[in-house]
Structure 1
Amino acid sequence: MVKALLAELELRKDEFKGQNVETIYLGGGTPSLLSDDELRSILGAIYKGYNVTEAPEITLEANPDDLTKERLMSLADTGINRLSIGIQSFFEDDLKSMNRAHNALEAQRCLDIAQHYFNNITIDLIYGIPGMDINKWDHNLEIAFKFGVNHISSYALTVEPKTALDTFIRKGTYPPLDESLALQHFNHLMDRTTEQGFVHYEISNFGKPDYFSKHNTSYWQGKPYIGIGPSAHSFNRIQRSWNIANNTKYIQAIQKGVQPVTIEELSIQDRYNEYVMTGLRTIWGISLNTIASDFGEVYKHHVLEAAQTYFNEGLLTLLIDVDNEKNHIEKITTTPKGKFLVDGIASELFMLN
């Protein structure tokens, strides 16, 4: 697999010719299972074939049970400068219900050690877990704050079909999800992170100043990116593509010098809808100036008309900002009240045939 990843990097280097690589994200699975030498070979191939900026953000996704002291020490020498640790919860019963491999002790132990080797650490926390009262959720947050993490990604618990959790709920051995509980947790999350100096810069992401995820921010702002490996997605502003999900077929195709990819041409309507979907999730919102210039005045009129109901309900707001050149920028952003409902609101602003 690693040889195939290296071969795909070489195969596709011309796609990014003339562009700078500002972020590298090793994730979408469990890349911490790779050896240090394998990680170095992948990063080396990127530096060799692509124009990497002087100080890129290089993130590695990892599970707490993979992060021993020795492993953290060696990772710090590979060039990786940001860790994304899938904590999910600091409570044993929650971790068991989510079928996580690590335990509560490992969750805290890895953070205690990691902060000695990395100052840029983000953790994942799950809210809306049935049976988790507000005090328990607050205790989860307090532990994160105690360790001084500068970034938290937090998501409502969801149930995927055919998973163990899905089976438990259908059999009645685990309580169903409660959206009102998730909303209560979400509101508490916004309040507590604000008190601690975090900026709620994207619906699921909270970062201290200078610790926003550069990689994810690029995605939300519509910058092009290349995804390497099985199932990996890529985007060049006019096309979206994704590699085959089957590992064996992926390796076999790459060995033949062929990228096993499906390509979708994005229409103006597709690009507008995606801009609305991603932009509304951020503090920067969606710019009416950008909509008019990139998609046309028809789209600007459409979004203003579609948003009117949400202005009236206090879920969206229309702001006027001034850029560095003193130009007036009109943008639509979500209000605190509208944040929890943003995906549904965004879908109502889409342009549909």
Structure 2
Amino acid sequence: MSGIYLHIPFCKQACHYCDFHFSTSMGLKEQTVQAIARELELRHQYLRGQPVHTIYFGGGTPSLLSQQELQLLLETAKRLFIVSEDAEITLEANPDDLTPAKLQELKAAGINRLSIGLQSFHGPHLQLMNRAHSATESLQCVKDAQAAGFHNITVDLIYGIPAPDHQVWQRDLETLFALGVPHASCYALTVEPATVLGRWSKQGTFTPAEDDFTARQFEILLGQMARHGYVQYEISNFCLPGHESRHNSNYWRGVHYLGVGPSAHSFNGVSRQYNVAHNRKYTDALALGQIPFEIETLSLADQANDYLLTSLRTIWGCDLQRISTAYGYDFRVTHAGYLQELQEKGLAHMAEEVLYLTDAGKLLADQITLELFIA
């Protein structure tokens, strides 16, 4: 199996926390869509005939595309690749785009899974993040999507937003559960230097939440999700049984994927390819039949680190025997003391050569991964 990721680099406005590649100018939107279709043609052999089980429109804001633009890209992908009949076709959408008419267009275009960037149900938090939608739209768009026949829905929520206490976060979770969506991705607010929040933080006009505050909200998240029957199958991702994101699960399991569009990444097991993060350079190159990209060949250590980084975050854990067999690094020998320490401190446990992080370990996942990384 394999997947296709299409990066749609356009947004109505810039969120104050976002450091992804996007543009708020729509001047190149039509050219970019045509260029993405052209890139699909030029790279139709990248997946070497592997069946495509997932297609993911990310961004940016893919819900800004028209029905015709979405159909062009989907029809091009289906013409050039072996796309399974039951493929999961996800589109990221902002609440303010999801009118009843737009939802019908998305269904007609072939979208069967929605990823809705709610971020919060609390108006002041949405304003802080400079989201283009209101708290009312956060709630209404999910109800409209369900009424339109979309049942495979995931929503994004952000925690760790500075507040006097945890009441807003608890209300956000209560609202989420009341909506009955089968999947949620919940991320801690990260203040990146090149973002508005990053500049405000440097200037002293914004103070990020303390680590202990964010950690407590993560603990609240874990407890509430478990109480409502959601499985944490990756550190930031929760679902009712059977509703895992097939596309993202494949990323974490090392499945090959093709990424098209400005700034998109591709992975084929032995290398990564990075498209230029510049819309004009991208469209100009594709107009000449060229793909502007850089490529990174992965050593065995790189491949082992990639697997370690992704697998430790998941419910499936990190198979140490696989690392030994496939990449030639035996952590059970080289890191025996550290692995024992993790278990004694209640940060991880082992079962049949697979290393799993506990809830306490998930709070320190990045630190633990760095300790295990192969130099």
Give the TM-score taking structure 2 as reference length: 0.89
Aligned to 2:328: 296
Q: Distance in 1 between matches of 2:360 and 2:331?
A: 25
Decide which of 309, 315, 324 is 1:283's aligned counterpart. Answer: 315
Decide which of 29, 35, 38 is 2:60's aligned counterpart. Answer: 29
Query: Given the alignment of the two structures, is residue 78 of structure 1 paired with residue 109 of structure 2, yes or no?
Result: yes
Residues 270 and 299 of structure 2 are in contact (CA less than 8 Å); yes or no, is this contact kept in structure 1?
yes
Decide which of 330, 337, 340 is 2:360's aligned counterpart. Answer: 337
Q: Distance in 1 between matches of 2:263 and 2:302?
A: 21
Aligned to 2:196: 164
Aligned to 1:101: 132
* Structure 1 residue 46: Cα displacement: 0.5
Residues 87 and 124 of structure 1 are in contact (CA less than 8 Å); yes or no, is this contact kept in structure 2?
yes
Between 300-309 and 100-109, report the one with greater CA deviation. Answer: 300-309
Residues 83 and 120 of structure 1 are in contact (CA less than 8 Å); yes or no, is this contact kept in structure 2?
yes
Q: 1:182 is matched by which residue type in structure 2?
A: T
Aligned to 2:349: 317
Aligned to 1:239: 271
Q: Distance in 1 between matches of 2:84 and 2:298?
A: 29
Secondary structure, aligned partner of 2:111:
coil
Aligned to 2:118: 87
Residues 271 and 297 of structure 2 are in contact (CA less than 8 Å); yes or no, is this contact kept in structure 1?
yes
* Structure 1 residue 303: Cα displacement: 4.4
Query: Given the alignment of the two structures, is residue 351 of structure 1 paired with residue 374 of structure 2, yes or no?
Result: yes
Aligned to 1:326: none
* Structure 1 residue 132: Cα displacement: 5.5
Aligned to 1:66: 97
Residues 276 and 346 of structure 1 are in contact (CA less than 8 Å); yes or no, is this contact kept in structure 2?
yes
Q: Distance in 2 between matches of 1:39 and 1:98?
A: 28
Q: Distance in 2 between matches of 1:90 and 1:118?
A: 20
What are the residue-to-residue correspondences of 1:3-18 with 2, within 5 Å? Answer: 3-18=34-49
Query: Given the alignment of the two structures, is residue 175 of structure 1 paired with residue 204 of structure 2, yes or no?
Result: no
Q: Distance in 2 between matches of 1:10 and 1:304?
A: 48
Residues 47 and 268 of structure 2 are in contact (CA less than 8 Å); yes or no, is this contact kept in structure 1?
no
Aligned to 1:140: 172
Q: Distance in 2 between matches of 1:209 and 1:216?
A: 16
What are the residue-to-residue correspondences of 1:219-258 with 2, within 5 Å? Answer: 219-258=251-290
Aligned to 1:206: 238
CA 1:95–1:297: 2 relative to 1, 3 Å:
closer
Q: Distance in 1 between matches of 2:165 and 2:153?
A: 27
Secondary structure, aligned partner of 1:274:
helix
In structure 1, list runs of 5 or more residues that go unmatched: 321-329
Q: Distance in 2 between matches of 1:127 and 1:176?
A: 12
Identify which of structures 1 and 2 has the higher relative contact order when contacts are C-alpha pairs closer than 8 Å and 6+ apart: 2
Aligned to 2:5: none
Residues 302 and 351 of structure 1 are in contact (CA less than 8 Å); yes or no, is this contact kept in structure 2?
no
Residues 19 and 51 of structure 1 are in contact (CA less than 8 Å); yes or no, is this contact kept in structure 2?
yes
CA 1:132–1:259: 2 relative to 1, 3 Å:
farther
Between 115-124 and 306-315, report the one with greater CA deviation. Answer: 306-315
Q: 2:122 is matched by which residue type in structure 1?
A: F
* Structure 1 residue 305: Cα displacement: 4.2
* Structure 1 residue 33: Cα displacement: 0.6
Aligned to 1:267: 299
Decide which of 70, 84, 87 is 1:53's aligned counterpart. Answer: 84
Secondary structure, aligned partner of 1:19:
coil
Query: Given the alignment of the two structures, is residue 187 of structure 1 paired with residue 219 of structure 2, yes or no?
Result: yes
Q: Distance in 2 between matches of 1:204 and 1:77?
A: 31
Could you report, residue by residue, the CA deviation over 1:223-242 in whole angstroms, capped at 9, with x for unpaired residues?
11000001000000000111
Secondary structure, aligned partner of 1:177:
coil
Secondary structure, aligned partner of 1:46:
helix
Give the TM-score taking structure 1 as reference length: 0.94
